[in-house]
Amino acid sequence: MTTARTAAQARPQQPTLRRAVTAWGSFSWGYSDVGADIFVGLGLVLGAAAGASNIAFLFAGIVYVCIGLAYTELAATYPVAGGGQYFVFRGLGDIFGFIAGWAVLLDFTIDIVLFAWSCIDYLSKLPVLPFLAYTSHPWTHFLVVFALIVWLAGLNIWGVRESSAFNELVSALDVVSETAILFFGFLFAFHPDLLVHTMTAAWPNTFNLMNGVSLAIISFVGLESISQAAQETQRPASIIPRTSISLILTILIFALSYSNLSLGMQPWHPIPPDAHGHQQMLWHFLGNEENNGAAVAVLASYVPYWGAFAALYVPVLGAILLLISSNSGVFGSSRIAYAMSRTQLLPSIFQRVSPTRRTPVVSIAAFCGVAVVELIFAALPSLSPGMHHLYARLFRGEDGITFLGDLYAFGAATSYSFVFIALIALRFNDAQSPRRFKMPINIPLTYRGRPAEFPVVAVIGFIGIASILVFTMITHEIGRIAGPSWIILGLVGYLVYRHRKGLPVFRSQRHDWRKAQVRILQEAGELELMDEYLRNVKAAEPPSATQRGLER
């Protein structure tokens, strides 16, 4: 064990990611991503699921708890940059690790542009900034969103410590502020009888309910940000379980509270069916393109007494939180690309770290560039009226933010499905790695003559997220075309890259996972866990011939 420590410490040091993220920083990275989702997802879900919006959030929330528990166990066990991509890569092999990582990259690049887009939507609700509204001033909206993406790229290239400090400050302000919205809303505007009436009178058809559930998962995407920062978190095996559980409970309470408050505040009424014959319900102030991107601000403005103040305050709050969520997208996409490059799933240029700032400069620039392309595609129907009919056919009447939401839901459901399978595989194939946190409800059994535990909650979570993936493919016309197209495009690039490098194309490379795990724990500063892991490995090895002779 001492030899392992000495050898690990004696290796030549190359520029690596700085461990500058504290316990609150770890929470804020997750909260800045997940906490902002309700600001975007609320309007989309209300416009689709109407009176069943709280049910849609409940279903997605249960799946989210399972996802959160899975990520907590895996990130504490394998504290490396890459998150879900690395877990799938280690549990299922190279090609599945690439698919999972590529799907997450889609999500994080969408994260960058979706939340920057909504940030400007919220600012446009201020009386002094109406010219930022996408519906009336698309070019101004587009240029400001573009400028935000460029600024965030520069912030992350400058350094994670500065970026993390930015998140920590605004996350603390938002926890208090979102609580205040709910407190005053339930105190002055909520009517339980109206909630029951709305759920009865505005219950959606099956298609819209599935659509609402698939969009509701948007409000819970982003917990992976904590695992993305694991390689830059101090003492991750101890910190990550505490911050993850706190985040899971905080976001679940907020999402369910906001959805029930929304249904119990204002009556609903039907609107004409859309182009596909789907009946919709909405408030007179929500459920349309103009307000969907700023639903929480509009909701808060209708709270009696407090609403006049909220109309000025909440748009600023929402904009700030959405900005740091977009910042988390820059962080997450660059760390995934960095991790995939280190394991030869992407070209080596993506693991290039600045020697002075120690940040993955190439990855940040490349995937912020992808986000800009997505921004152009989402905004183009309004920016080019002359091509409106062509893009109307592509978008099927969707507005830009709904288009981005479609892709967001697809990427999340795809990557999370693989993560659950990988967790089950790692429980059996890497039982020696110490798990300071385990998902509850495990069935003890024997696998290849060794004790193991089967995670029941992982199976429940997989069934739930697989259902959401099916709902997404059924109800989102763009999602079922653009999402798989992104995966296919990535796979083609992966196969070409692996062939040119002389690496196995469909099979996995040989990996010394024992040596890798020792290095991971040593670099994380978890030396006690490293020693425990080495003891577990030694105990699991078959006895030598000499030992067998002595035993006889």
Look at residue 495 and tell me whether its pLDDT is greater than 90. Answer: yes
Q: Which residue has the higher pLDDT, 366 or 158?
A: 366
* Alpha carbon distance, N-terminus to C-terminus of the chain: 29
CA-wise closest residue to 39 among 174, 195, 191, 130: 174
Q: Which residues contact 371 (CB under 8 A, 6 or more apart)?
A: 109, 110, 112, 113, 149, 329, 333
Q: What is the DSSP letter of 501?
A: T
DSSP-based three-state secondary structure for 447: strand
Q: What pTM does this model have?
A: 0.82
Instruction: Say what the pLDDT of residue 356 is.
Output: 73
- pLDDT at residue 282 above 70? no
Pairwise CA distance, residues 522 & 322, whole Å: 35
C-alpha dist (Å) from residue 363 to 99, 123, 157, 375, 459: 18, 29, 10, 18, 34
pLDDT digits (tens, 9 = 90+) for 210-244: 988 988 888 777 666 665 555 555 566 667 777 77
- Please give the pLDDT value at position 19: 46
Q: Are 353 and 360 a contacting pair, CB within 8 Å?
A: yes
Tell me how far CA of residue 347 lies from CA of 103, 341, 436, 511, in angstroms.
Answer: 17, 6, 34, 18
Within 10 Å of residue 442's Cβ, how many Cβ atoms?
A: 15
- Going by C-beta distance under 8 Å and a sequence separation of 6 or more, which residues neighbour residue 294? 39, 43, 118, 121, 122, 124, 125, 315, 318
User: Does position 552 have pLDDT exceeding 60, yes or no?
Assistant: no
Its sign, for the CA torsion 167, 168, 169, 170, is: positive
Cβ atoms of residues 245 and 72 within 8 Å: yes
**How confident is residue 488, by pLDDT bands cut at 50, 70 and 90?**
very high
Higher pLDDT, 26 or 329: 329
Q: pLDDT by residue (tens digit) across 119-157?
A: 888 888 888 888 877 767 788 888 999 999 999 888 888
Q: Are 212 and 247 in contact (CB under 8 A)?
A: no
Residue 93 pLDDT? 93
* Residue 267 pLDDT greater than 60, yes or no: yes
User: Helices 361-383 & 388-395, crossing angle to 10 degrees?
Assistant: 120
Strand spans (E) along 418-480: 442-447, 450-455
pLDDT at 447: 86
Average pLDDT over residues 442-460: 91
The stretch 454-477 carries a mean pLDDT of 92
Structural domains in the chain, sorted by start: 34-511 (1.20.1740.10), 522-551 (no CATH)
Residue 130's alpha-carbon distances to 121, 127, 138, 157, in angstroms, are 9, 6, 12, 32
In this prediction, what percent of the chain has a pLDDT beyond 90?
Answer: 25
Contact status, residue 284 vs residue 267, Cβ threshold 8 Å: no
454: helix, strand or coil: strand
Distance of CA 229 to the CA centre of its chain: 13
Task: Return phi, psi of residue 288, to 5°.
Answer: -120, 170
Which one of 302-311, 396-405, 490-499 scores highest in mean pLDDT? 490-499
pLDDT digit string, tens, across residues 178-187: 888 889 889 8
Q: What is the pLDDT of residue 174?
A: 79
pLDDT of residue 290 exceeding 80, the answer is no
